[in-house]
Chains A and B, each alone.
Chain A
């Protein structure tokens, strides 16, 4: 039976070899100085990190690993100590995160703005409006389809603020034109393109988004559409696994002149993605 049944033995050997091959990869990761940044899809999908991180890594040798999820999930993951730095865009939730002792301190980092996009046909007639809340009210009045993130992300929070500013509280259960997707920004834009719906998106994602179909920017420039990003070191006193030194180095670099220049220099199709925040009074 031995010489004649090579298959089982070969399969076993193959399996062992595969496992052996898998182990070094897992082990090697721990040796290098690295941090995990819990961040949002808007920063990752727009290519922002792809342009900024290599500069930091070249300068410090610290490797930055970005997990891109919604702001809500990024903060929850960080609350579980699964990450060293949070880089998100929901100032109120971030303040809450720090107040609970989960993060050390929120540093205003950068901003861009939200835009309301919609189909070229513009059934609600909002193209060119400056008042975002009024535009949202008009969409609701027209019953024109609106694709909502519905995922407790920073963008979703911003959208709900706009509905409230318009004096509305639409409910997807009864207001059928409001389509809550429970999806990321890209998936929501894909759906909006497919349904001919309006949507609120951050400009960075929009600029980099390739499947615009006949979606156009309808409303921009309202101060309420400003989108602020903050960066927070996860509290090492609470999460001993946090690489505080490298994490703080990353934050310090982002806030430095070099980091701010890197942020300002990140572009897609020639357009600037984010504006660095004004330097604060010296942090810490």
Chain B
């Protein structure tokens, strides 16, 4: 129990000191994770919607694959991204390994299936309700997808937040492709891993608490925005 008390102390001391390194790490964490989630939403939501709406051979298999990809261990994603971005890999010439861009790519691969799969489920339910009406109004496949994405926008914040949660919490992928380089690619989770390896358990746990607080703040902000938008008109 002593560790927890110490951790609270460490977290508080870090926050109170306004440690610039902590600010840097928190900033990079947010930048990497939010960018990855944004890309996942921009790509994964239309993809999930089309999977819910379109009828084509192999659609069931595609949905099953998406669900399976949701469970990919971050380390595997990190390793695959590493092999892609390594200087001796197919995309090595881009020189992205050990940069925030590499971390964004890995986390996008990690969160996109999750966002797409959750979107598919949400849109499939809406599609069952609105399909005939929309077709009667002359909506094509894309128009239907966009209409339902808009209609499911409040439910879809949950998909985006699930993606955020997965990305914010993972350490395996960003550790491998980012390298946990000080002042370059160190983020909250890799910093926690580092402090754990140094045996600085209270500090590691304190960083964990700060990460939890950031996640909670992002979730609360999203929920508040959603509630305000819902109240604003549409229900």
Contacts and interface: CB of A to CB of B under 8 A. Distances in A.
Interface stretch (A110-118, A145-153, A158-166, A186-194): A186-194
Interface residues of B, number: 43
Nearest to A215: B199
A65 B179 contact: yes
B101 interface: yes
B213 interface: no
Contact of A21 (B31, B42, B101): B31
Contacts, number: 117
Interface string A35-75: 01000010001000010000000000000011110000000
Given A15-B42, A26-B101, A65 B197 contact: no
Given A184-B197, A187-B197, A210-B200, A29 B184 contact: yes
Contacts of B92: 81, 241
Contacts of B194: 45
B87 A18 contact: no
A82 B38 contact: no
Interface stretch (A2-10, A134-142, A253-261): A2-10
Contacts of A209: 198-199
Contacts of A15: 38-39, 41-42
Q: How large is the interface on A (under 10, 10 to 19, 20 to 34, 35 or more residues)?
A: 35 or more
A22 interface: yes
A25 B88 contact: no
A80 B41 contact: no
B153 interface: yes
B180 A7 contact: no
A185 interface: yes
Interface in B187-229: 194, 196-201, 225-226, 229
Nearest to A209: B199
Interface string B25-38: 00000011011001
A7 B199 contact: no
B9 interface: no
Residue with the greatest number of chain A CB neighbours at <10 A, chosen from B87, B92, B149, B201: B87
22 contacts: A6-B232, A10-B225, A12-B42, A18-B35, A18-B38, A21-B35, A22-B100, A22-B104, A25-B99, A26-B101, A45-B198, A50-B182, A65-B98, A65-B184, A68-B180, A80-B89, A81-B92, A82-B86, A186-B199, A208-B198, A209-B198, A210-B201
Interface of A: 4-8, 10-12, 14-16, 18-19, 21-23, 25-26, 29-30, 36, 41, 45, 50, 65-68, 77, 80-82, 184-187, 189-190, 193, 208-212, 239, 241
Given A22-B100, A26-B100, A45-B197, 12 more contacts: A4-B232, A19-B38, A25-B100, A25-B101, A45-B198, A65-B98, A68-B180, A77-B86, A80-B86, A81-B92, A82-B86, A189-B199
